[in-house]
Chains A and B, each alone.
Chain A
Amino acid sequence: MFAEFLQYLLSGITIGAIYALAGLGFSIIYNASHVINFAQGEFIMIGGMSAATLTAAGVPLPLAMLFGLAAAMLGGVLIAKFTIERARNASVVTLIIITIGASIFLRGLAEVVWGKEFHRLAAFSGDDPIAVMGAAVLPQSLWVLGVALVLIAATGFFFNRTLAGKAMLATSHNRLAAQLVGINVRGVVLVAFALSAALGAVGGAVVAPITFSYTEMGIMLGLKGFTAAVLGGLGNGAGAVVGGLLVGIAEALGAGYISSAYKDAIAFVIILLVLMFLPNGLFGKRGTERV
């Protein structure tokens, strides 16, 4: 009974960690540019596909991950530079369509490079489950949790303790004022996209042994990441991480106890219920509209 609960909880935290990374990526880009980047899931896909296909070709795993990271970051910077920067004054919907165009482009590119079939990546340190109080944990889950924890801590350190990170936060609060004190506000958008792409790509590589890699793997992961970011309150990084874990856990418990067929619907039911009572998410700023 308890072992079963623990099993669901652990698998929920594992996938929740990936949602948290994706949600954090949404938040960073939202803060820098007020754009919802629907290509976030594609960064995850690039990380997962690079790791799976390059290791299959004989490249050592760390090098394969590094390549995926570099490819995703390059993709992110190019999107920021050639589309988001140029369309900065466009409406919310237009910007959404631009990032959707980017995601279709990246998926199309991935189909050309890697094909449409599923690719398997071996678990980083074997498939022998570890017994924890009656539940079985795959070593890969520990990899996912460990890597996510390090990335989230590093992101927190960057935004709270370094000058570059603080400059980015300042820009998100007031772009004009930040520009007046000498912050390169254009660079901020590029860095935000690179950072989000990096979080996504590494997350994609560590989760690939659990989910398989294929060109459409990023779609649902990206949408759940968006849900996590909105649940925590858009632009609130810590909120996105909490949101991601909550979504992952709720999904695993719901799939285990209620219905596995409706697993993918659970995240969206939660977000609708939360938004009905808290229109700015769990930890979002409550503001009044100025005219």
Chain B
Amino acid sequence: MLGRVPVLVGLAAVIAVLPLVLTNNFLLNVAIIAGFNAVVCVGLNLLIGYAGQISLGHAAFFGLGAYVSAVLVGTHGWPPLPALLAGAAFVGVLAFAVAKPILRLKGHYLAMATLGIGIIISIVLRTETDITGGPDGMVVVPFEVFGIEVAGESMWYWVVGALLLLAVWLSLNLIESPAGRAMRALHGSEVAAETLGVDTTGYKVMVFVLSAVLASVMGSLFAHYLGFITPSAGDFFKSIELVTMVVFGGMASTLGAVVGAVILTVLPQFLTAFQDYQHMVLGAILMFTMVFMPRGLLPTLEGLITARRRA
């Protein structure tokens, strides 16, 4: 495992140097979307990788944040920042309300419950046409705060890059804090953690709400960035995509979540070269990466490097 400082410095260096290579707006756009996914995945990884609780419905929180911003700003004329905060508060309360009953569930039952919540929310977003515009989506105005408008690919790149660094820093600190140790303990054995006095339910609810709020904030910003939002931003496929990124990159590895999000955002862009075969190739890559690297990309590579150093 790398220490906190090298990870942050390394990531900052990559973010700083990358624009030299990304010479057009298409490439920058892919990088920005990868950044959005990466921040959400860093939050989701705290829940799945560290606390050991699966969520197959996290995109719904992303979609809700996006739509609260879109509706408050577009229909009710709120400024973007208060709308973003209102979205985060709304999602936080919602996540808190559902967390307690569903986090009692284990394994596949929890997967079912989170999947259900995600699908219900995405159906509501799709169906309540009067508020959300239905499947056609809504137009969203650019993000503006203190009179500064965030617009253009290069400006968004630095905003998302800074947010990613912030999210990784928070995640690394949380994991090393007493709360983080409690989370990892309940992942190992919930009963054992409880007998040692860890409030397992409390920590599970906390990390669930935290990851949902992070998804909501990124959803709000994403809506402003694209200037347009459709229900697909919060549907079942997006949820599956997010979980896949976390597991692919490596559970219980903050950097792994970032790497997974970046690879699985960029990969489909290259796979279009396979034209009709692109979904087959993507499916095969997912299956066999997970078969041969069940712990995910980054932890497996780290393991190989450590083993070589010892030898």
Binding site for B on A (CB under 8 A): 30, 36, 82-83, 86-87, 89-94, 96-98, 100-109, 111-112, 219, 223, 226-227, 230, 234, 261-262, 264-265, 268-269, 271-272, 275-276, 279-281, 289, 291
Nearest neighbor of B123 in chain A, beta-carbon distance: A265
- The digit string for B28-68, where 1 denotes a CB below 8 A from any CB of A, is 00000000000000000000100000100000000000000
Residues of chain B with a CB closer than 8 A to A92's CB: 54, 107-108, 111
| B277 and A108 contact, CB distance less than 8 A | yes
In the bound complex, do residue B243 and residue A97 qualify as a contact, i.e. CB atoms below 8 Å apart? yes
Chain A residues lying within 8 Å of B119, measured Cβ to Cβ, are 223, 264-265, 268
Instruction: Give the interface segment out of B75-83, B97-105, B147-155, B201-209.
Output: B97-105
Asked if residues B109 and A280 are in contact (CB atoms below 8 Å), the reply is yes
A139-B190 Cα distance, complex, nearest whole Å: 53
In the assembled complex, 27 residue pairs joining A and B whose CB atoms fall closer than 8 Å, in A order, are A90-B294, A92-B54, A92-B111, A93-B48, A93-B54, A93-B243, A96-B54, A96-B111, A97-B243, A98-B290, A100-B244, A101-B286, A101-B288, A104-B286, A105-B283, A106-B283, A108-B282, A112-B276, A112-B277, A226-B112, A227-B116, A230-B109, A234-B109, A262-B127, A265-B119, A276-B101, A279-B105
Cβ of B248 and Cβ of A289 under 8 Å apart? no
Minimum CB distance partner of A90 in chain B: B294
Interface string of B90-129 (1 = CB under 8 A from A): 0000000000011011111101110111011001100100
- Interface SS, B side: helix
A289 to B112, CA, bound (A): 20
Quick check: A279 and B109 within 8 Å, CB to CB? yes
Extra A-B contacts (7), CB below 8 Å, given A230-B109, A272-B116, A275-B105: A83-B290, A87-B290, A96-B111, A98-B286, A269-B120, A281-B109, A291-B192
Q: Which of B235-287 contact A (CB under 8 A)?
A: 236, 240, 243-244, 247-248, 251, 276-287
When distances are taken between beta carbons in the complex, the residues of chain B under 8 Å from A261 are 127
Nearest CB in chain A: distance from B278 CB, A: 7
Nearest chain B CB to A113's CB is how many angstroms away?
10
A264 with B123: CB separation less than 8 A: yes
B21 at interface by CB-CB < 8 Å: no
Q: Nearest Cβ distance between residue A41 and chain B, in whole angstroms?
A: 12
**Residue from B54, B108, B190, B291 within 8 A of A289 (CB atoms):** B190
Q: Are B283 and A104 in contact (CB under 8 A)?
A: yes
Chain B residue at minimum C-beta to C-beta distance from A112:
B276
> Does B189 count as interface, using CB distance less than 8 angstroms?
yes
Question: B113: which A residues are within 8 A, CB to CB?
Answer: 271-272, 275
The answer on a CB contact under 8 Å between B277 and A97 is no
Residues A86 and B244 in contact in the complex (CB < 8 Å), given A112-B277, A291-B189? no
Residues of A within 8 A of B101 (CB): 276
| From B112, B190, B291, contact of A230 by CB (8 A) | B112
Pick from B104, B116, B278: contact of A108, CB below 8 A: B278
8 tightest Cβ-Cβ pairs between the two chains A and B:
A105-B283, A108-B279, A101-B286, A104-B283, A268-B116, A90-B294, A108-B280, A101-B287
